Structure 1
Amino acid sequence: MKYLLMLTGLLAMPARAETASGAGTSLQDPVSLEMLGQLLIGLVVVVIAILLVLWVLKRFTAIGGHHRDMKVIAVLPLGTREKAVLVQVGARQLLLGVAPGRVSLLERFEEPVIVPPQSGQFGAKLREAFAQQQQKDGW
């Protein structure tokens, strides 16, 4: 309690305090532009450091890696937690059974069973569907 009273007394002191020699010393405002600038610079440095660490992890580990030669073609849910996944690896397709904590090879296909959609077809199909809808509505 004694320390709390001392602290409140220090906070209530005026901004200028007189010293024994009569020269005035000024107390710094706790919220100043200099302090806010230092805080902002520190925050930017921390954010840059975090981004740099994430970039290094992604670059030199397998986290978030995308492979052009490996794609998921189709997924079929078999139960609440089980599914069958068709994966394209190079020219082959693999049918995998996926369950919690386990992945099993069900079948290996030398020739594609399902032809994967080419990238960019979505836009063409969307335009086609939009054009059909406009013709149907009489636009």
Structure 2
Amino acid sequence: MHRHIVAGLALLPLSALAAEPAAVAPVAGSGMAAQLGQLALGLLLVVGLIFLLAWLLRRVQQLSPRGGQVIKLVSSQSLGPRDRLVLVQVGSEQILLGLSTGSITPLHVLKEPVQVPDSQAASPEFAQRLMELLGKDKH
């Protein structure tokens, strides 16, 4: 007889625990939805903050004077996949530099500055440069 009572007592907490998750399940589901909503809202706030900071950075960069730069890139010519010739102007001097992987070598200081037309500016628009690299620019 004691065995039946012990077995009955052992099953009593299991039945009570089995009934408890059914009562908690709807609350957990609504809690999960609230957590997902908070997560989505937090994610939107972070993404919005990133866009706001990017916009502010562009505005601040536009306000800085560009004409006051001491070093200017006059022209650039690719010699291969990793080698370039670059003509830079520092003050009133123009210097021809050789750029390769991990090194910059001054090649020549020009006695007379080279005048480059605006159409051959050193930094072309991204789309034009991309088309040149892809070989689709038929000049």
Higher RCO, Cα 8 Å, sep 6+? 2
**TM-score, normalization by structure 1:** 0.44
- The structure that is helix-richer by fraction is 2
TM-score by length of 2: 0.44
Higher strand share: 1
- Largest Rg, 1 or 2: 2
